[in-house]
Amino acid sequence: MQEIDRAEQAYTHCIADIQESLSAIGLLPNNFEILLIAYKEEDILNVYAKNKASESYRFLMSFPVLTRSGTLGPKKKEGDKQVPEGSYRINRFNHKSKYHLSLGINYPNDYDQAQQYTGSDIFIHGGTKTVGCLPIGDPAIEMLYTLASLAKANGQEEIPVYIFPFVLDADAIKKHKRQYPLETINRWEELAILHSQLQKQLK
């Protein structure tokens, strides 16, 4: 019996909804790019999109992150169950994942390697189980996998994925100062600058 191609099946399930969602913010399915932002404390993954000529993104859709392992703070080593924090990109499309479908991110990135952080195989994936990944369930990963595949097929060479501990502002960081080491707080303050810059690109 021939194995069903999960990516093709996902496309069939999701393409009409994707076209409708893109059309609702004035985008065409052959001329768009996406950007992903996850907030760990809020357990949410937001998707933004723009046409290739635009400088700013518009909100497209969001998915709840169904389970979270570890605590707030960066991933530092293999097996620590932490979800990474920082600026990443999708570097793998896995249509044979044990979690239905999955999108790999490039952890450890240059910053992580400079800190001598270790680990591998961090994914946004289906299902609900996780050890350091972002599980969003099978229907949601079908939608996101198809959306990312379309963006890539239409020329988006890098799909950014930003993972933040929470919505980074001064009050939020202050709230967590007593619970986390100075090293983590300093990193969050660095990421807060990135977060602020990113917000200027979003509508």
pLDDT tens, residue by residue, 84-111: 999 999 999 999 999 999 999 999 999 9
Length of the chain as a residue count: 203
Beta bridge partners of 158: none
**Reading across the β-sheet that carries 134-135, which strands appear in turn?**
58-64, 44-50, 33-39, 160-164, 86-94, 102-105, 123-125, 134-135
Burial call 159-176: b when 16+ CB within 10 Å, e when fewer: bbbbbbbbebeeeebeeb
Q: What is the pLDDT of residues 118-144, one digit of tens each?
A: 999 999 999 999 989 999 999 999 999
Mean of the pLDDT values across residues 5-11? Answer: 95
Q: Give the residue among 192, 170, 147, 168 at the shortest CA–CA distance from 39.
A: 168
Would you state the structure tokens that stand for residue 118, as one six-digit string? 């270790």
Q: What is the pLDDT of residues 67-91, one digit of tens each?
A: 999 999 999 999 999 999 999 999 9
Give residue 178's pLDDT: 87
Q: Round to whole Å and give the CA distance between 203 and 196.
A: 13
Residue of 95, 125, 176, 195 marked active site: 125
Q: Is 125 a catalytic residue?
A: yes
How crowded is residue 36: how many other Cβ atoms within 10 Å of its Cβ?
Answer: 24
Q: Round to whole Å and give the CA distance between 94 and 109.
A: 19
Give residue 2's pLDDT: 44
Q: Is 14 a catalytic residue?
A: no
Would you state the structure tokens that stand for residue 84, as one six-digit string? 């990474």
Residue of 13, 95, 100, 133 marked active site: 133
Share of the chain above pLDDT 90, in %: 95
pLDDT at 165 over 60: yes
